[in-house]
Amino acid sequence: MGSAADLPLLKIVLSSYAITALLVASYSYGITFSPFSQLQSIISTLRSPPLFVCEQHQYTTEIVSIDPLLIYINNFVSDKEAQLLVATGFVSLPSASSSIACSKEKLSQTSKLELTKDTREPNLESSVVYLEDRKVPSKSRTSRSGALDPTSPITQCVLSRASAFLGTLLSPIDDFGTPQLVRYEQGQKFDVHHDWYDSPQRINDGSGRFFNRIASFFVYLEAEEGKVRGGETWFPHIEAKENPGKWGKRVNGMGGEVEKGALFVPRKGNALFWVNLHANGTGDERVVHAGLPLLSGRKTAMNIWPRKIYERRRGWFT
């Protein structure tokens, strides 16, 4: 004979038998129980994976250059966040050629441009460059990229962190636009380029406002140490004291000559931040940069472009 201490366990066992019986009756005979329907909903909720929670996250920074401003951020995203961002980039989203693809940088003239898609990763398309306000394929940029859903919890979490990092750099009317996932496979690259626009771009929201990319975050999400060779981010006009394992000098493979500039090694979770525009709104040529050819492995990163909003094109310097 069981003791009184066994009664709670007995109740649990009997409850499980009752639930099983209700399941059989419901699915085998089509019998519906109103309380049981509520129970099913509760069970389904309990079995669902927990929602992403944006946890407090610590990172450290190192100033690489003051003028122009370039900052190296250690552990800007956690391993879990990096994995979720990559997964978010591979879900089915409106393509870059769609008329509802969020931001100006995803909309400009893309309806007239056929992009090559990788069927294994449906949201990644051949990357493009801007030419006179038009997006065009280019041999100078051979990576693949896609929009990151700005409404997803993980994307909002990282954008909130970026916003806190910026402090008062952005005014209340400024924003981030649509962040981008970019992937480099072996041999892929992005030659020297700048992130700002030569002229401000119209925001496709009917407001008549314009924007330019005041700054950039480049966040490394995939770069397995020991497997990734090459793929460094190179700023040819920035001189900085070497920091082994993070940044150093570019060495010419043919003659072994050390070139000017700062060369950053891909490190998962770390990020680069720099300011694109001078105080008068013009682009800073000193922060042009390149994604050097990837020799082996795979590099995936996130582009975040804080946007300076202008009420009129004529007044974009103010």
State yes or no: pLDDT of 97 exceeds 70: no
State yes or no: pLDDT of 139 exceeds 50: yes
Q: Which amino acid is at 270?
A: N
Supply the pLDDT for residue 123: 57
Nearest in space to 291 (alpha carbons), one of 213, 198, 196, 182: 182
Supply the pLDDT for residue 37: 54
pTM: 0.71
**CA–centroid distance for 234 within its chain:** 20
Question: Do residues 224 and 316 lie in contact, with contact meaning Cβ atoms separated by under 8 Å?
Answer: no
Supply the pLDDT for residue 206: 83
Nearest in space to 138 (alpha carbons), one of 113, 117, 121: 113
pLDDT band per the 50, 70, 90 thresholds, residue 255: low
Q: What are phi and psi of 287, to 5 degrees?
A: -105, 20
Q: What is the pLDDT of residues 207-221, one digit of tens each?
A: 889 999 999 999 999
**3-state class of 25 per DSSP?**
helix
Average pLDDT over residues 259-276: 96
Q: What is the DSSP string of 141-180?
A: B--EEEE--TTSHHHHHHHHHHHHHHTTSS-TT-B----E
Of these ranges, 87-96, 189-198, 307-316, the one predicted with the greatest mean pLDDT is 189-198
Q: What is the pLDDT of residues 11-34, one digit of tens each?
A: 444 444 454 454 444 444 454 545
Could you tell me whether strands 70-74 and 271-275 are parallel, antiparallel, or unpaired per DSSP bridges?
Answer: antiparallel
Q: What is the pLDDT of residues 37-96, one digit of tens each?
A: 555 554 444 444 457 889 899 999 999 999 999 999 999 999 999 999 999 887 533 333
Round the average pLDDT of the chain to a whole number and report it. Answer: 77
Domains and CATH numbers, the chain: 4-47 (no CATH), 60-310 (2.60.120.620)
Q: What is the pLDDT of residues 275-291, one digit of tens each?
A: 999 999 999 999 999 99
Q: What is the pLDDT of residues 109-138, one digit of tens each?
A: 322 223 333 434 545 455 444 444 555 556
Structure token pair of residue 233: 């981010």
Supply the pLDDT for residue 107: 28
Query: What is the Cα–Cα distance from 296 to 221, expressed in whole angstroms?
Result: 16
Name, in order, each residue with C-beta under 8 angstroms of 205's C-beta and a sequence gap of 6 or more: none
Query: What is the Cα–Cα distance from 88 to 171, expressed in whole angstroms?
Result: 28
pLDDT band per the 50, 70, 90 thresholds, residue 295: very high
Structure token pair of residue 308: 């300076």
pLDDT band per the 50, 70, 90 thresholds, residue 256: low
Q: Give the count of alpha carbons within 13 A of 108, CB side only.
A: 17
Could you tell me whether strands 70-74 and 60-65 are parallel, antiparallel, or unpaired per DSSP bridges?
Answer: antiparallel
Supply the pLDDT for residue 252: 73
